[in-house]
A and B are shown apart, each in its own frame.
Chain A
Amino acid sequence: MNALPFFEWCEATTIGQAIRDSAWLFPVIESAHLLGLCLLGGAVLIVDLRMLGLALGGQTVGEVARGARRWLMLGVGVMLLTGTPLFLSEAVKCYYNPSFWVKITTLPLALAFAFGVRQRIGEKAALASALTRVVALASMALWFTVAAAGRWIGFSS
Chain B
Amino acid sequence: MTILSALEWLARTPWSVALHESLYVWPFLESTHVLMLTLFVGTAVMLDLRLLGLAFRRMPVSELTGRLLPWTRAGGAVMVITGFLLFYATPVRNYQNIFFRIKVVLLILAALNVYLFHSRPHRRVKEWDLDPVAPRAARVAAVVSLLAWAGVVVAGRLIAYNWFDCDIQPQPPFVNWVAGCVVPPADQ
Task: State whether A71 touches B38 (Cβ < 8 A).
Answer: no
CA distance A43 to B58 in the complex (A): 17
Task: State whether B55 touches A45 (Cβ < 8 A).
Answer: no
Task: State whether A42 touches B42 (Cβ < 8 A).
Answer: yes
Task: State whether A38 touches B38 (Cβ < 8 A).
Answer: yes
Residue B67 at the chain A interface, CB threshold 8 Å: yes
- Asked whether A44 and B38 contact (CB < 8 A) given A34-B153, A35-B153, A55-B71, the answer is yes
Residues 84-126 (chain A) with a chain B CB within 8 angstroms: none
Instruction: Name the distance in Å between A107's Cβ and chain B's nearest Cβ.
Output: 15
A39 contacts across to B, CB distance below 8 A: 42, 45
Task: State whether B27 touches A155 (Cβ < 8 A).
Answer: yes
B35 contacts across to A, CB distance below 8 A: 41, 144, 147-148, 151
Instruction: Name the distance in Å between A150's Cβ and chain B's nearest Cβ.
Output: 9
Interface string of A21-62 (1 = CB under 8 A from B): 001000100110011011111111110010000111111000
A44 contacts across to B, CB distance below 8 A: 38, 42
Most buried by A among B42, B157, B163: B42
Q: Tell me whether chain B's interface is mostly helix, strand or loop, or mixed.
A: helix
Interface string of B154-175 (1 = CB under 8 A from A): 1001100101000000000000
Task: State whether B38 touches A37 (Cβ < 8 A).
Answer: yes
A55 contacts across to B, CB distance below 8 A: 67-68, 70-71
Residue A68 at the chain B interface, CB threshold 8 Å: yes
Pick from A34, A46, A71, A147: contact of B157, CB under 8 Å: A34
Task: State whether A42 touches B45 (Cβ < 8 A).
Answer: yes
Task: State whether A151 touches B42 (Cβ < 8 A).
Answer: no
Which residue of chain A is the closest to B75 with respect to CB atoms? A45
Task: State whether A27 touches B37 (Cβ < 8 A).
Answer: no
Residue A8 at the chain B interface, CB threshold 8 Å: no
Residue A67 at the chain B interface, CB threshold 8 Å: yes
Instruction: Name the distance in Å between B125's Cβ and chain A's nearest Cβ.
Output: 14
- Asked whether A38 and B67 contact (CB < 8 A) given A58-B60, A67-B56, A155-B27, the answer is no
B39 contacts across to A, CB distance below 8 A: 41, 45
Task: State whether B27 touches A67 (Cβ < 8 A).
Answer: no
Instruction: Name the distance in Å between B65's Cβ and chain A's nearest Cβ.
Output: 11
A34 contacts across to B, CB distance below 8 A: 34, 37, 153-154, 157
Task: State whether A45 touches B31 (Cβ < 8 A).
Answer: no
- Asked whether A42 and B43 contact (CB < 8 A) given A27-B161, A49-B71, A56-B68, the answer is yes
Residue B150 at the chain A interface, CB threshold 8 Å: yes
B44 contacts across to A, CB distance below 8 A: 42
User: Which residues from chain B sit less than 8 Å from chain A, CB to CB?
Assistant: 27, 30-31, 34-35, 37-39, 41-46, 49, 55-56, 58-60, 63-64, 67-68, 70-71, 149-150, 153-154, 157-158, 161, 163
A–B Cβ pairs within 8 angstroms, 6 of them? A35-B153, A44-B38, A46-B68, A49-B71, A55-B68, A71-B46
